[in-house]
Amino acid sequence: MPKVLISDELSPAAAQIFRDRGVEVDIKTGLKKDELIAIIGQYDGLAIRSATKVTADVLAAATNLKVVGRAGIGVDNVDIPAATARGVVVMNTPFGNSITTAEHAIAMMFAVARDIPAASASTHAGKWEKNRFMGVELYAKTLGLIGAGNIGSIVADRAQGLKMQVVAYDPYLTPERALEMGVTKVELDELFARADFITLHTPLTDGTRNIINAASIAKMKDGVRIINCARGGLIVEEDLLAALNAGKVAGAALDVFAVEPAKENILFGHEKVVCTPHLGASTTEAQENVALQVAEQMSAYLIDGAVSNALNMPSVTAEEAPRLRPYMKLAAQLGSFAGKLSAEVGIRKVTIEYEGAATKLNTRPLTAIALQGLLGPLMPSVNMVNAPVVAKERNIAVADTKLEAPSNYQTLMRITVEMDGKTRSVAGTLFADAHPRIVSIKGITVEAEVTPHMLYVTNEDKPGFIGALGSILGEAGLNIATFNLGRRTAGEEAICLVAVDEAIPQSVVDKVRAIPQVKQAQALDF
């Protein structure tokens, strides 16, 4: 019988689920690291929240451990690379606290609109300062939503119930999904200009880090109020403080901070700032939901071998894994390649086609991995399990088909991305049954291996292009590893894929774009 240790506080119902599924369970909370190391070797599964630190030392002692289940989203307390190296599956529960987090954002918006915390403290102190706490209504105000995924869409729905107008910025938000949500899709600068309240619901990425800064605040309305219940690091706290002191920002409500736990912060004590200690998921219902979900997932894996919401492995059975492994690599590379070419454009539909030997496989995990690669450039938190859910939330239609007709290749996989006014496709195959190669881009035949640093160019097939390109790369000191060309017909559209040994500076890309024959140039890092 599998045995699980619950080392953090979870709902008692979670332990009962384990028992009902035929899993033995021990509950030992508050263990010190050496105490956990001393006993972890007895267990097949470890159920945690945020207190237990699953370090490389703990994993080294966990000789029988097969799965770590995190009741919640964040897994900063788990050494995922070390877990992967030891064959331990790491699971989380990404959607168990969505409603709770959205409700907290709405509560924070009310609090900052009416100065509720400061008014409460004043009244507790025996004061009666009615004139001091003059708030504003939410009714008929414009809410600017940065991030319109699962939590953001719930916030939008609640805000509409308050009769607010909602404008939303999200690179993956399609017009159809915006219409379904009842929001107006806008670019970021327009959101800044229109919003009376701005709330953030986006992951922390290189593209979103410091998205609220002095420059963006300057574009906002005077008297704007800002709410962040998403991630610390989205706001430059020094710039927000300056804007609060200047009166540009009328108030801010923050549940997350750049450094946590936030025992000290430059915004603490400001009369126009409402702060809570990362309480977005802190409700009885959310804690119950994530506890039950993690128990169900871990039990399914330990009893049946089913994998769901795994962060470090695909959802495939042990029998399928050896056959699917090279196809997974191909799917990931094709999806990532297509995603990097489509990251700035709203995606409407993704079609994934399988030909030849690939049609005999379980293609569901391959499709999920391809979607992960496609959505990854703007959403690094997406994984192969939640990628289909993320696509559905953004109203991205996903179709996968198996073509039984004879193929020119022993096996082939093609991804076609339909966007606003554009369609892009990329196809690949396996050479010698194990080595992925791109064999077609936009219907143009080109054979290339995906490497860490590549330059993608579309150009007119005219004399002088290759020489000009080579000169630019040479002058920049970029060594060419491979140089792959393809064209439709002589003198028409052509594609060039160049692999180089190091990252390509933007200045080099700009020079390539200036070549007369070039239509598009983009550096791709994998």
- Quick one: DSSP state of residue 52? S
| Dist CA 298 CA 291 (whole Å) | 11
Rg (CA), the chain: 26
Both tokens assigned to 259 = 């450094």
Residue 439 backbone dihedrals phi, psi, to 5 degrees:
-120, -10
Cβ contacts of 26 within 8 Å, gap of 6 or more: 3, 4, 5, 6, 43
Edge-to-edge strand ranges of the sheet holding 411-419: 397-403, 347-356, 411-419, 422-431, 435-441, 444-448
Q: CB-side exposure of 235: number of CA atoms within 13 Å?
A: 29
Per DSSP, 160 falls in state H
Say whether 415 sits in a helix, a strand or coil: strand
**Rounded to an integer, what distance in angstroms lies between the CA atom of residue 47 and that of residue 6?**
5
Longest CA pairwise span in the chain (Å): 85
Dist. CA 262–CA 237, nearest whole Å: 12
Residue whose pair of structure tokens reads 């799917």 in the numeric block: 331
How far the first Cα of the chain sits from its last, in Å, is 42
Active site residue 260: yes
Q: Which among 49, 177, 201, 278 is annotated as catalytic?
A: 278
Residues forming a β-bridge with 423: 418
Asked if 491 and 461 count as a contact pair (C-beta separation under 8 A), the reply is yes
The torsion region of residue 311 among left (phi > 0), alpha (psi -120 to 50) and beta comes to alpha
**Is 278 considered catalytic here?**
yes
Query: Coil, strand or helix: which one is 94?
Result: coil
- Of 35, 129, 187, 260, which one is the catalytic site residue? 260
- Burial label for 491, CB within 10 Å (0-12, 13-18, 19+), is exposed
Q: How far apart are CA 268 and CA 240, in angstroms?
A: 12
Residue type at position 517: Q
214-217, long-range: CB < 8 A, 24+ apart: 214/239, 214/242, 214/243, 216/188, 216/192, 217/243, 217/248, 217/249
Among this protein's residues, is 238 annotated catalytic?
no
Count the alpha carbons within 13 Å of 173 in the hemisphere toward its beta carbon. Answer: 24
User: For 520, what's the count of Cα atoms within 13 Å in the CB-facing half-sphere?
Assistant: 11
Q: Of the listed 49, 177, 225, 231, which one is catalytic?
A: 231
Q: What residues are annotated to the active site?
A: 231, 260, 278
